[in-house]
Amino acid sequence: MKNIVLIGPSGAGKTSIGKYISNILKIEHIDTDDLVKKQFNMSIEKIFYNYGEDCFRMEEANIVKKIADRDNLVISTGGGVVINKDNIRYLRKNGILFLLTGNIDTLTQNLMSSREQRPLIGCNNIYGNIHDKIKNIFLQRKDLYINSADYFINIDNRTIEEIGEEIIWIYEKY
C-alpha cells in the first residue's frame, strides 16, 4: 500500500494523527522531525539555535528522500516540508498527501501547550503574537500546501480520532 503522508502547518495535528492512524492500521509511523532530532541527537529548537534553519532543512530533505522510497508507512512531516519542491516530489512517488488544514485560531489553540518546541513559533510570547506568527507563516506557505495536497482534511472542531478516521476511510477506498 502507498504511504499516508500528512502535511500542513504546525499545530494541525500531523504528529498526533499520524500516531493514531498507525495504531489503528498497525502500520509503521515515521515523524520526520523525530528522525532529524535523532540524527543531531538534540531537540529541534537546539538544532535551530546551534546550526540554523538551513541546516535543519538540509537534514529534513535527506530524511524525506530516504523514507519516500519505502511503502506502507504513515509519515508525519514537519510544517515546512513543502518549502522544498523536491521533498514533495519524493513524497508523492509512493504516497498520498493529506493536507490538514483549519482556522488560525484552531492552530493557535493546539500550539498553546507545545509552542516552546517550535522555534519558528517561539516561546515567551503573548497569545496575540503567536497567533500573528502562525498566520504569517501560514499565508507564506498557503499556495505550497494547496498545490502539494491530494486531499484536504478539515481539522476545525474535530477530535484527533475523527480526523484520523476520515483519512483512514479515504485511504482504504484508494
Ligand X SMILES: O=C(O)C1=C[C@@H](OP(=O)(O)O)[C@@H](O)[C@H](O)C1
Interacting residues with Mg ion (CB under 5 A): 14-15
Q: Which single residue is written with the C-alpha cell 479515504? A: 170
89 known ligand binder: no
For ligand ADP, the closer of residues 3 and 76 by Cβ is 76
C-alpha to C-alpha distance for 13 and 106, rounded to whole angstroms: 10
- From the list 6-14, 37-45, 50-58, 127-135, the region that binds ligand ADP by CB under 6 A is 6-14
Least distance CB 114 / ligand X (angstroms): 8
Least distance CB 138 / ligand X (angstroms): 9
134 contacts 108 by C-beta, under 8 angstroms: yes
C-alpha cell at 40: 543531531
User: Residue 16: which of ligand ADP, Mg ion, ligand X, none does it interact with, CB under 5 to 8 A by kind?
Assistant: ligand ADP
User: Residue 113: which of ligand X, Mg ion, ligand ADP, none does it interact with, CB under 5 to 8 A by kind?
Assistant: ligand ADP
11 contacts 105 by C-beta, under 8 angstroms: no
C-alpha cell at 147: 498545490
**Residue 12 found at the interface with ligand ADP (CB under 6 A):** yes
C-alpha to C-alpha distance for 103 and 109, rounded to whole angstroms: 10
User: Residue 114: which of ligand ADP, ligand X, Mg ion, none does it interact with, CB under 5 to 8 A by kind?
Assistant: ligand ADP
Please name which of 92, 94, 71, 72 lies closest in space to residue 81, comparing C-alpha atoms. Answer: 92
Among 17, 33, 98, 133, binds ligand X (CB under 6 A): 33
**Residue 80 found at the interface with ligand ADP (CB under 6 A):** no
**Residue 148 found at the interface with ligand ADP (CB under 6 A):** no
108 known ligand binder: no
Please name which of 18, 134, 133 lies closest in space to residue 67, comparing C-alpha atoms. Answer: 18
Upper half-sphere CA count for residue 29 (Cβ side, 13 Å): 18
Could you tell me which residues are annotated as the binding site for Mg(2+)?
15
